Structure 1
Amino acid sequence: MSIHFRHKRSVLAASVLMPLVLATACGGDDGSAGGADGGGGEVELTLAHSYTEQQPQHRCGAQVIADEIAAADVGVTVEIYPNSQLGGDADRIQSVVSGDVDIDIQGASALGAVYEPMSVVDAAYAFEDGEHLARFFDSEASDELTQGFQDATGVGVLGAWSAGARQFTANEPIREPADLEGLRMRFPNSEQYLMNARALGADPTEVAYEELYLALQQGIVDGQENPIVNIDAQNLGEVQEYLSMSSHQENSNLVIAGPGVEELSDEQREALDAAVDAAVEQVPQCVEEDEQRILDEWTSGGAFEVVEDVDTDAFRERVEPYLRENFSDEQLAVYEAIRGSAE
């Protein structure tokens, strides 16, 4: 069975969670924890991600999931491992597949490494905004994508949110595609991000996120793109002058979990499902509040000159035909499903 959001099923389907049971209470004469028939024992799940404890993905995402499950009092606890403590994105995906990590928060491009069509979620201007991304994953339009991902990996998608739109920074304003000419723009090292760069008209340069500040400071790259919360976390206002509000990509986060719900009862699965739903609701609001606070600080403190008059229509007109020409048939089907879900 496939897994989606809570309103699309009465209970979490039996193929979505992969509890690495660190603690189980005996249930029944054979000493095993109860399964999906409602006799679940005490279970501890691991939840991993790459974000700091100050970022919205942790505060309003992972922590909300853990708190909501604890409040449900159904015998399930969630232990969070932030800051890539359990490995980088690629390692953690494999850990979910193998059962060493139960739940993970990943970007779609990272998941594209194990199921290529998923990376299309991170295509430039695929979504109108964060609400569109949430609506897509909360509807039947995403069924083929999430089912294909689960069939290929054994891992299900419990929920998805946008962690903010990605914006350009540089030492000169970027208002239209022509402004990217001659600039060495840092993009993440993934096929979809590099395709986005070329579609937008940029000359992409791959630099590790951890090395980005130094690369900008030393002039190895001229600019970069990231969500506002990431730009702030990296203090890029110290080495860049302009923030251009291109909003060219919604920064996706997917909450994923693997198979093996035998250790969870129906009640426990429903509690986990509801906890993820709560996080899906709260993260975008937290991101919006953080972004507004950061923008106010930048505007008043002069960290960036914020460029609002970006010609996003010009970027969109360039991007869509490029993507359609370069996507595989399978990727194009996902793109069409996303665009078809726009209102």
Structure 2
Amino acid sequence: MVILRRGLLAALALASAFALAGPANAQTKLKWAHVYEPSEPFHTASVWAAGEIAKRTGGRYQIDVYPSSQLGKESDINQGLTLGTVDMIISGSSFAGKAYPPIGVTYYPYTFRDAGHLLAYARSDVFQDLAKGYEGKTGNHIVAVTYYGVRQATSNRPFKTCAEMKGLKIRVPDAPAYLAMPKACSANIAPIAFAEVYLALQNGTVDAQENPLTTIEAKKFYEVQKNIILTGHIVDHLNTILSASLWNKLSPEDRVIFSEVAQEAAARATGEVARREKELLDVFKQKGLNIVEVDTAEFKDTVMKNITFESFGYRKADWDRIQAIKSSM
């Protein structure tokens, strides 16, 4: 009887221990969304990061990564951070600028001189100030910045000057930041969802679009466009953003893990994008595309004369601080 009682007490103690340990070891499932293709570095690096976070937290987090606009277009996944439909996203500051306009100043044309200038900005006090402003407005936390590439135009008809863009039907992302250059050049702007751009180019809904060379390759826009125009109007980047809900729930130790892994993933993707970008002009030439070089100073001057910072909610003082940053490459 005594032995049975001791056995029962031991079993109860063990069950109690499992019950107490259960919540602490429970796995949290998270959704990480973006609009890029599975073949792109942004996705492969995210998948690596999801696995690495699971490893470094002892399996307490299972992160499923959803590419190719599976959880919605870019504006949708940004809203999803607040609505609770996503926990993490990769997205540009142009879309963060919808909630906090000043952070979108990096999308004013010709703000960055090159990739090195952009990456130096990502480590600067200017970025920290703008990121804090965005977090103060939304509660969402930016943990990493990835180089996305220099945005160039593709078009069915070539152009070499800003004036020659007049009347051109060009697709831009559905965020105010992208309007400055086409607007200054009197183009007709069509904010079509990213997943629909190929078809829009193919069926003539639009004549042109603009994206980095690596995206032009990944989305196969070169199949339905004859000309690549090297406008180089935006040196672009993507932020890895955690929702306010997720960030506030993370312990200080887990915040460090999420941040460090995201930054390592960003560095991986940045390196891949930069390497491939250097190769692609030759690749596109071999495919028979017409590469058109332009006087970017003429485009920049036209934008500066016609588009004010204030019209987009940007602050000229932030832009001036960015100009003073020295490139890191």
Q: TM-score, normalised by structure 1?
A: 0.79
User: How many residues were matched structurally?
Assistant: 309
Residue 53 of structure 1 and its aligned partner are, at CA, apart by 0.8
**Contact 1:122-1:252 at 8 Å conserved across structures:** no
CA RMSD of aligned residues (A): 2.8
CA 1:295–1:59: 2 relative to 1, 3 Å:
farther
Does structure 1 residue 193 correspond to structure 2 residue 178? yes
Q: After TM superposition, list the pairs within 5 Å mapping 1:108-257 onto structure 2.
A: 108-257=93-242
Amino acid at match of 1:320: M
User: Aligned partners of 2:140, 2:257: CA distance in 1, in Å?
Assistant: 19
Which one of the candidate residues 48, 62, 81 is aligned to 2:33? 48
Amino acid at match of 1:318: T
2:308 aligned residue:
324
2:263 aligned residue:
277
Q: TM-score, normalised by structure 2?
A: 0.82
Range moving further from structure 2, 81-90 or 247-256: 81-90
CA 1:275–1:172: 2 relative to 1, 3 Å:
same
Q: After TM superposition, list the pairs within 5 Å mapping 1:3-152 onto structure 2.
A: 32-33=23-24, 42-60=27-45, 62-74=46-58, 75-152=60-137
User: What secondary structure does 2:230 align onto?
Assistant: strand
Aligned-pair identity (%) = 30
CA 1:233–1:328: 2 relative to 1, 3 Å:
closer
User: What secondary structure does 1:324 align onto?
Assistant: coil
Amino acid at match of 1:149: Y
**Contact 1:43-1:264 at 8 Å conserved across structures:** no
CA 1:98–1:161: 2 relative to 1, 3 Å:
same
Residue 28 of structure 1 and its aligned partner are, at CA, apart by 9.6
**Contact 2:105-2:314 at 8 Å conserved across structures:** no
1:306 aligned residue:
291
Deviations 1:121-166 (A, max 9, x none): 2221111122222221211111221111111111111111221111
Amino acid at match of 1:331: R
Displacement over 6 Å in runs of 4+: none
Give unmatched runs, 5+ long, in structure 2. Answer: 1-16
**Contact 1:199-1:323 at 8 Å conserved across structures:** yes
User: What secondary structure does 2:95 align onto?
Assistant: helix
User: Aligned partners of 1:118, 1:27: CA distance in 2, in Å?
Assistant: 47
CA 1:54–1:147: 2 relative to 1, 3 Å:
same
Residue 82 of structure 1 and its aligned partner are, at CA, apart by 1.7
CA 1:50–1:210: 2 relative to 1, 3 Å:
closer
Give unmatched runs, 5+ long, in structure 1. Answer: 1-25, 34-39
User: Aligned partners of 2:206, 2:85: CA distance in 1, in Å?
Assistant: 38
**Contact 1:64-1:275 at 8 Å conserved across structures:** no
The structure with the larger Rg is 2
User: Aligned partners of 2:184, 2:234: CA distance in 1, in Å?
Assistant: 12
